[in-house]
């Protein structure tokens, strides 16, 4: 699985002009299941993100996780993380998991992250979403690439 993790002061998702999810301080996690990914990949990535130390401690160093800070996570499916730009100017997405499997693993990932103790909100799989965020830092970490 691939993910892009952004430390945020707030983030939200709107679908068709309606706000469907919103968090305050925490993480915006864009996630994509790849062909060959399984349940263990989703669980392992969720555990790693829950413990990723990218929040400031008392000394101002990135030494605390979202669990340590009591923050939340907004998890949004993003199949374009599977983009292959090695040939031509139009990205290919053939390495992404098929939609049914991608959705199953996306949901499993969000459940696993919540199971780690992180409050989780989600986007809507396959929907045309408007994602808003205030990136804190900015801190953006690609994972699983």
pLDDT tens by residue, 36-93: 999 999 999 999 999 999 999 999 999 999 999 999 999 999 999 999 999 999 999 9
Could you tell me the pTM of the whole model?
Answer: 0.96
CATH 3.40.50.300, applies to 2-137: no
Across 1-145, the runs of DSSP E, i.e. the strands, are 2-15, 18-23, 26-32, 55-56, 62-64, 72-77, 120-122, 129-143
Residue % of the chain over a pLDDT of 90: 99
Average confidence score pLDDT of the chain: 97
Domains of the chain by residue range: 2-137
> Active-site residues: which are they?
78-80
């Amino acid at each position: 699985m691939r993910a892009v993790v952004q430390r945020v002061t707030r983030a939200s998702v709107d679908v068709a002009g309606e706000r469907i999810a919103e968090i305050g301080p925490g993480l915006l996690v864009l996630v994509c299941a790849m062909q060959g990914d399984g349940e263990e990949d989703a669980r392992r990535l969720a555990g790693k993100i829950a413990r990723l130390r990218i929040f400031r401690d008392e000394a101002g160093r990135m030494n605390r996780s979202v669990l340590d800070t009591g923050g939340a996570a907004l998890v949004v499916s993003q199949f374009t993380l599977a983009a292959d730009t090695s040939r031509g100017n139009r990205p290919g997405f053939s390495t992404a998991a098929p939609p049914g499997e991608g959705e199953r693993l996306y949901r499993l990932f969000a459940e696993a992250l919540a199971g780690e103790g992180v409050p989780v909100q989600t986007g809507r799989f396959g929907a045309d979403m408007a994602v808003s965020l205030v990136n804190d830092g900015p801190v953006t970490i690609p994972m699983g690439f």
